[in-house]
């Protein structure tokens, strides 16, 4: 097996980046990049900590990633399973990255920066859903932002309805828990899942 283990070897293999690939990266949100953020109902948040890396989905109606200004974003932390892996990482290592998606749009937006966790009511109360104010919010100071070209989403056919899989073709949450060693009643877990999801969404 052949390995590449140096920056020089990697750059020699791939060659220089295109002018457009370098030009598109800027230190703050342009009006065009802001439009993508405000249209997005979904992002992936990446963090790093002593135990390793973490990537977690975040989603809400479009506009949930609030643009405070060109270098500041606010993401409410919604109710979850209380593992708080990403939040634990951020209090120890503030580096964060976002991958922002807009349904039907093949380009994605990548944002790098530093995060801090806030409990400021003035920031969190406007983010209430169903009358419930999030416990915390993530304030991100942007250091770089750029769009990713459409190739990955075109190749994956992510937004193509014909490429969607029936949920019944894949393991249920209960089956995945059972495979991981859960000892409780996974059939009951699956049966209660729709009601539990509706009751704990916010």
Kindly report the CATH class assigned to 19-159: mainly beta
Indicate the pTM of the whole model: 0.95
Does residue 123 contact residue 74 with C-beta atoms inside 8 Å? yes
Q: What are the residue ranges spanned by the domains of the chain?
A: 19-159, 165-202
Distance of CA 74 to the CA centre of its chain: 13
Give the three-state DSSP class for 17.
Answer: coil
Does residue 182 contact residue 169 with C-beta atoms inside 8 Å? no
Give the three-state DSSP class for 150.
Answer: coil
Of the candidates 144, 77, 81, 87, the one whose C-alpha atom is nearest the C-alpha of residue 116 is 87
Of the candidates 111, 187, 101, 109, the one whose C-alpha atom is nearest the C-alpha of residue 142 is 111
Mean pLDDT confidence for 24-50: 98
Taking only the tens place, the pLDDT of each residue in 128-156 is: 999 999 999 999 999 999 999 999 999 99
pLDDT mean across residues, the chain: 97
- pLDDT (0 to 100) of residue 141: 98
Residue 45's CB is within 10 A of a number of other CB atoms, namely: 23
């Amino acid at each position: 097996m052949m390995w590449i283990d140096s920056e020089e070897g990697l750059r020699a293999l791939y060659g220089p980046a295109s002018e457009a690939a370098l030009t598109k990266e800027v230190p703050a949100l342009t009006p065009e990049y802001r439009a993508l953020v405000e249209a997005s109902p979904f992002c992936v948040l990446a963090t790093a900590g002593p135990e390793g890396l973490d990537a977690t989905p975040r989603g809400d109606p479009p506009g949930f990633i609030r643009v405070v200004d060109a270098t500041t974003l606010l993401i409410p932390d919604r109710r979850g399973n209380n593992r708080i892996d990403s939040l634990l990482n951020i209090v120890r290592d503030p580096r964060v990255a976002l991958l922002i998606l807009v349904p039907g749009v093949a380009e994605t937006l990548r944002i790098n920066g530093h995060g801090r966790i806030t409990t400021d009511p003035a920031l969190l109360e406007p983010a209430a859903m169903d009358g419930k104010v999030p416990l915390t919010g993530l304030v991100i100071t942007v250091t770089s932002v750029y769009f990713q070209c459409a190739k990955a989403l075109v190749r994956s056919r992510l937004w193509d309805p014909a490429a969607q899989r029936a949920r019944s073709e894949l393991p249920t949450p209960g089956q995945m828990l059972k495979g991981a060693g859960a000892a409780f009643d996974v059939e009951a877990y699956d049966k209660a899942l729709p009601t539990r999801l509706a009751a704990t969404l916010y």
